[in-house]
Homo-oligomer: A and B are copies of this chain.
Amino acid sequence: MSVLSLLKWRYATKRMNGQKVPDEKLGTILEAVRLAPSSLGLQPYTVFVVESEAWRKKVSPAIYNQPQILEGSHVLVFAAWGNITRESIDNYLDNVAKARNIPASSLEGYRSMIEGSIAGKTPEQIRAWNAKQAYIALGVGLIAAAEEGVDATPMEGFDPAALDAALGLDKLDLHSAVVLALGYRDAANDHLASAPKVRRNISELVVRL
């Protein structure tokens, strides 16, 4: 299916039917998330895949017990890093040097650029910056899910502090930024399954110069 067809097929599924997303499909969706671009290549987020029923029950109240949490089979919590540490920059540059078979010393200019980008930001701005990168991965993951015939509901309706506490993120300086529930639509019980998609017209969305 084309990307446009996938976008038309998907919708913010409210009710799911309990069927489990197979591991192989989950793996494809996570691989797409992994390949998503991010600013400077840093991927400043960690993705928690909440699958076991015990864990889904544990996080459910923090997501206001929305039905997808238990009716779906996996809940992806995109957790933005609270900071960009020296260690994470070192790890990243090590990865670049290894993947491209170049000496680490050739990346010192790049290191300065990264450090310069961070130096000008407050901790709050860094966290917001990191969260925004996670939204790119969310957009990419949505399309990968649709290609696998998996329904995916992006969710911002959660209590970040409660979700952080439920997952123990606070101790890791991670901050739940956005959630993606995965599963299969229960079309008979979800009035949105057949509702026309609502978007602004292109002339209202776009200005051409």
Contact = CB atoms under 8 A, between A and B. Distances in A.
Interface stretch (A14-22, A65-73, A134-142, A181-189): A134-142
A202 interface: yes
Interface string A18-54: 0000000000101111111101010100111111100
Contacts of A62: none
Contact of A142 (B37, B39, B167, B196): B37
A205 B135 contact: no
Interface in A63-97: 91-92, 95-96
Contacts of A128: 128
Interface residues of A, number: 63
A104 interface: no
Interface string A92-110: 1001100110000000000
A30 B204 CA distance: 12
Task: Specify the main secondary structure of chain A where it touches its partner.
Answer: helix
A144 B147 CA distance: 13
Interface string A138-166: 11101110010000001010000000000
29 contacts: A3-B3, A4-B35, A4-B144, A7-B32, A7-B35, A10-B37, A12-B37, A12-B41, A30-B206, A34-B206, A35-B199, A36-B139, A43-B205, A46-B206, A47-B205, A47-B206, A49-B208, A49-B209, A51-B209, A52-B209, A91-B200, A95-B199, A100-B195, A100-B196, A131-B132, A132-B132, A135-B135, A139-B139, A143-B143
